[in-house]
Amino acid sequence: MIEAHEVRKQFGQVKALGGVSFTARDGQITALLGPNGAGKTTLLRTLVGLLRRDHGTIAIDGIDPERDPLAVRSNIGFLTDQFGLYERLTTREYLTYFGELNGMDGSALNQRIDEVSQLLAMDDILERRSKGFSQGQRIKVALARTLLHRPRHLLLDEPSRGLDVMSTRALRDALASLREQGCCVIMATHVMQEVTHLADDVIVIAKGYTVAQGSPSELCQRTGIANLEDAFVSLVGTGEGIAA
Ligand SMILES: Nc1ncnc2c1ncn2[C@@H]1O[C@H](COP(=O)(O)OP(=O)(O)OP(=O)(O)O)[C@@H](O)[C@H]1O
């Protein structure tokens, strides 16, 4: 479970997070929804402990990421907007390297790489060097790395950007099965269809503040609007930042 209370973060004069509070439960996919610049990436980076918050509390299964970053990170898979692939390594070599950093090795690691590769439908790029990979191929490798050590918590920053229809489906299936396994998944996205299809719970943030949290149908009920996209627009008070 991930809990945040009144989290604030400022970069110089820019208030990226003015006050964010929410609870993301195990066995649920929680979508993080907000217009461009709302603070989603900043929030995810703060939750993992990559950024120090200015104010508020964060607990990942009860542990503050600033107090015990190693304990928290060993239980988190974080997909950022920067993948950091090594162009000279094949996908398998890259995943082996990160698996070993997480204390995995030998045939168990190889088997896990094959499992994740199948899950994400990326067998065709497993033995290729990442130099020249397309955006979708790059994000698959980064996602595979994120899932490799079977983290209990997954924080994903726009995981489906650049993926084709089949890969998007593979990703959705993968996330649904992780939910079944009891993982706590938080996913920042602009894709309403993804939220409608996948999310159990939605956190809406705008200008650095949480404006609502609830299931897609609760948000529709609360706003009295049947369509989630229109309900979202009504909650954030603007039409900006939505993918068609
Ligand atoms: N390192 C930084 N230095 C200065 N300002 C920053 C920094 N990181 C984020 N910001 C600012 O904080 C605000 C929130 O940015 P953030 O990237 O968290 O938004 P976001 O919701 O992820 O946006 P998007 O949907 O466009 O990816 C923005 O105004 C952004 O310009």
So what's the pLDDT on residue 119?
85
Token duo for residue 53 = 């918050």
So what's the pLDDT on residue 238?
60
**Do residues 206 and 232 make contact, with C-beta atoms less than 8 angstroms apart?**
no
Q: What is the pLDDT of residues 198-229, one digit of tens each?
A: 999 999 999 999 999 999 999 999 999 999 99
Sign of CA dihedral 180, 181, 182, 184: negative
Helix (H), strand (E), coil (C) string for 26-61: CCEEEEEECCCCCCHHHHHHHHHCCCCCCEEEEEEC
Using 50, 70 and 90 to split pLDDT, how confident is the model at 244?
very low
What residue ranges define each of the domains in the chain, with the CATH number in brackets? Answer: 1-75+152-244 (3.40.50.300), 81-150 (no CATH)
| Cα dihedral 74, 78, 82, 87 in deg (nearest 10) | 60
- Whether the pLDDT of residue 241 is over 70: the answer is no
The residue type at 5: H
Q: What is the pLDDT of residues 161-195, one digit of tens each?
A: 878 888 888 888 888 888 998 999 999 999 898 89
Nearest CA, atom 4, ligand 1: 11
* Alpha carbon of 108 to ligand 1 centroid (Å): 39
* Alpha carbon of 25 to ligand 1 centroid (Å): 25
Q: What is the pLDDT of residues 49-89, one digit of tens each?
A: 889 999 999 999 999 999 998 888 888 999 987 767 888 99
So what's the pLDDT on residue 86?
86
So what's the pLDDT on residue 45?
94
- CA-to-CA separations, 69 to 10, 46, 72, in angstroms, rounded: 21, 11, 5
| HSE-CB for 129 with a 13 A CA cutoff | 6
Q: Which helix (H) or strand (E) holds 154?
A: strand 153-157
For the segment 92-109, the average pLDDT, to the nearest whole number, is: 93
Q: What is the pTM (predicted TM-score) of this model?
A: 0.91
Among 9, 13, 40, 42, the mutation site with the greatest number of ligand 1 atoms within 8 A of its Cβ is 42
So what's the pLDDT on residue 160?
86
Nearest CA, atom 28, ligand 1: 37
* 151: phi then psi, degrees, rounded to nearest 5: -70, 150
Classify the complex by whether its ipTM is higher than 0.90, answering yes or no.
yes
For the segment 77-103, the average pLDDT, to the nearest whole number, is: 89
* Alpha carbon of 6 to ligand 1 centroid (Å): 18
Which atom from ligand 1 is nearest to the alpha carbon of 208? 14
